[in-house]
Structure 1
Amino acid sequence: MSSSPKIAIVTGASRGAGRGIARALGSHGCTVYVTGRSQNDGDAEMPGTIHATAQEVTDAGGKGIAIRCDHADDDQVKAMIDQVIAEQGRIDILVNNACAISNALTTPGQFWEKPIHVGDMINVGVRSGFVASWYAAPHMVRQDRGLIVFTSSPGSMHYCYGPAYGAHKAGLDKMAFDMGVDFADAGATVAAVSIWMGALATERLLAMMEAMPDQLGHLEGKLESPDYTGHVSWALLNDPDMMRFNGKTIIGAEVGRDYGITDMAGQFPPSVRTGTGAVPPEYAPYKIK
């Protein structure tokens, strides 16, 4: 692979997992395009902006570039991909992390007792990941090297916050599998991978743990840093045998341990397999095309 800086796009990177992933990729010298809607504090329910994340990428040793992009708008996604190609000529890593998460998702009640906009995460989550990949894939296939990552969780295989969250995560896992089939059929060295993250030490979860110690206190000392998936993604891209992961749903903590990637306090994060009993899906090889 070329020694020039790798070009990454991390969607939904104003805060949370996207912010950490972008920062981690920056620490490996990547040029990272940070996308999202939040340009100013107060633009969303939680703090964080694309500009602050881009600066953190640069401070970590990479080059952060913020692009304001509403991932519910296909034209804006196209314009974002076009800008990256015009400025860099390639895309090495696309991390599909954008998701319309509302605080209402975690409030008590059944799904019909919560605001209907909770379901927006199926659109700005599953479909937005498809659209960003649709625009990025031709460039990756042409350069014959690339990695598309979906940020997922074991909530695809057990109940978690209701049907909108579950459909979102299950959709990402299956989409990675199907995209992987198409990349393999094209003979391209491009991998689509869905990564199950653990309970992340994000602004949102830390606030929830403080507000609900009885329900969430068991997570104390068991959190995974938001940066960890970024380090795992970097290792995947640089693995000579990257294609063994194509189309797979993987547990980030387990693959990261295999690569020797430690997390906070120099420890390996716990696998989400422990406690949940969930295992990544295994799809049938039967194909209709």
Structure 2
Amino acid sequence: MTGQLHGKVALVAGATRGAGRGIAVELGAAGATVYGSGRSTREQRSDYDRPETIEDTAELVTQAGGQGIAVRCDHTDPDQVRELVRRIEAEQGRLDILVNDLGGEHLMDWHKPVWEQDLDKGLQRLRVGIEAHLITSHFALDLLRKQPGGLVVELTDGTAEVHEQYYRSEGGAFFDIVKVAAHRLARAQGEELKKHGGTAVSLTPGWLRSEMMLEIFGVTEENWRESATAPEGFGISESPRFVGRAVVALATDPDVARWNTESLSSGYLAKVYGFTDVDGSRPDAWRYILEVEWPGKPGKPEDYR
């Protein structure tokens, strides 16, 4: 897919690390100009307090073959988002791809009922995971709709099928609401964009080998299979580049409108489009989770790669 997105402009909101960084880099590898936004810079960390920065992401995008542009932006602040979109329009005159990957995983209160969760953290999770997405789309979609074929991707955790069948109790009510909302946001935006030739989808990675997850299990991307502390299910995990390749597959599909308003996963799209993860495998994490892990049935992660 090298060069297929040359001349296209993308905004990845939340590109500092994890899925957002993986998506930004893969869009760059396909030739796109990528504005990667976030709050962690080399001068100042966000409340996430991790070392990854938007400047690092922009450099990786450029190294991959695209043009990476880092922009510090708090997407819960409408004025900052307005200025970001104005900058994109002034510098590029267009926006073809919007990826909303604003989540706030550092705000998680694991395995607690709503009455025991930290209320301030929970409400901030809603602001970052829902309100910030709407603020970003409010300003960005007016520019995106001017180019037929525009694509909006709402990142989530779990497909609509998963959320219909299960309550995500491990993260609690705030987590569950945010992740379900992504499907409705994609549905709303898809309905509104279709008359302008645009497409919106919700997209979930599987078990993501983010920087934080690798750190938790004491491994790197190069030796992730050697963790002595990770559970068996970690064997179905995928790199952030895998979901990035899913976004590129959608963005380069001339018939992408067939997916409008749909809920999709990286593993499913890998089968449809034929791409693989960086190690050449094709993990289908959600099929493994639904068929083996959660129901407690026989099966091995390697059977789903």
Q: Using structure 2 for the length normalisation, give the TM-score.
A: 0.83
| Alignment partner, residue 16 of structure 1 | 18
2:174 to 164, 167, 178: 164
| Alignment partner, residue 7 of structure 1 | 9
Relative distance call for 1:125 and 1:259 in structure 2 (3 A) is same
| Alignment partner, residue 193 of structure 1 | 201
- Following TM superposition, by how much is the alpha carbon of 1:206 offset from its aligned partner in structure 2, in angstroms? 2.1
Q: Using structure 1 for the length normalisation, give the TM-score.
A: 0.87
- Deviation larger for 115-124 or 23-32: 115-124
Relative distance call for 1:164 and 1:34 in structure 2 (3 A) is same
- Residues in 1 aligned to 2:291 and 2:8: alpha-carbon distance in whole angstroms: 36
- Residue 177 (1) aligns with residue 187 (2): yes
- Residues in 2 aligned to 1:222 and 1:4: alpha-carbon distance in whole angstroms: 33
Can you list the C-alpha shifts for 1:194-239, whole angstroms capped at 9, x where unaligned?
002101010122233449x899512332111111222111111221
Structure 1 unaligned residues grouped into runs of 5+: 279-289
- Residue 46 (1) aligns with residue 23 (2): no
- Residues in 2 aligned to 1:205 and 1:179: alpha-carbon distance in whole angstroms: 31
> Letter of the aligned partner of 1:61 in structure 2?
G
> Letter of the aligned partner of 1:93 in structure 2?
I
Percent identical residues: 34
- Residues in 2 aligned to 1:262 and 1:140: alpha-carbon distance in whole angstroms: 29
- Following TM superposition, by how much is the alpha carbon of 1:82 offset from its aligned partner in structure 2, in angstroms? 0.8
Conserved 8 A contact 1:155-1:169: no
- Following TM superposition, by how much is the alpha carbon of 1:54 offset from its aligned partner in structure 2, in angstroms? 0.6
Conserved 8 A contact 1:23-1:60: yes
Can you list the C-alpha shifts for 1:144-171, whole angstroms capped at 9, x where unaligned?
2200001112176131411111111100
| Alignment partner, residue 277 of structure 2 | 263
Relative distance call for 1:237 and 1:33 in structure 2 (3 A) is same
> Letter of the aligned partner of 1:89 in structure 2?
G
- Residues in 1 aligned to 2:229 and 2:148: alpha-carbon distance in whole angstroms: 47
- Following TM superposition, by how much is the alpha carbon of 1:81 offset from its aligned partner in structure 2, in angstroms? 0.8
Can you list the C-alpha shifts for 1:69-122, whole angstroms capped at 9, x where unaligned?
0011011011111101110011111100022222x5154543433322332121
Structure 2 unaligned residues grouped into runs of 5+: 220-226, 293-305
- Residues in 1 aligned to 2:127 and 2:9: alpha-carbon distance in whole angstroms: 26
| Alignment partner, residue 89 of structure 1 | 93
- Residue 233 (1) aligns with residue 250 (2): no
- Residue 105 (1) aligns with residue 108 (2): yes
Cα RMSD after superposing both structures: 2.3
Secondary structure (helix, strand or coil) at the match of 2:51 reads: coil
| Alignment partner, residue 203 of structure 1 | 211
Can you list the C-alpha shifts for 1:13-34, whole angstroms capped at 9, x where unaligned?
1111111111111111111101
1:150 to 151, 154, 169: 154
- Residues in 1 aligned to 2:177 and 2:111: alpha-carbon distance in whole angstroms: 19
- Residues in 2 aligned to 1:96 and 1:13: alpha-carbon distance in whole angstroms: 9
Conserved 8 A contact 1:94-1:149: yes
- Deviation larger for 213-222 or 258-267: 213-222
- Residues in 2 aligned to 1:167 and 1:147: alpha-carbon distance in whole angstroms: 24
- Superposed, 1:57-72 pairs within 5 Å as 57-72=61-76
- Deviation larger for 191-200 or 33-42: 33-42
Relative distance call for 1:22 and 1:4 in structure 2 (3 A) is closer
| Alignment partner, residue 287 of structure 2 | 273
- Residues in 2 aligned to 1:196 and 1:33: alpha-carbon distance in whole angstroms: 21
Relative distance call for 1:92 and 1:12 in structure 2 (3 A) is same
- Residues in 1 aligned to 2:230 and 2:176: alpha-carbon distance in whole angstroms: 20
- Residues in 1 aligned to 2:248 and 2:51: alpha-carbon distance in whole angstroms: 27
- Residues in 1 aligned to 2:117 and 2:229: alpha-carbon distance in whole angstroms: 20
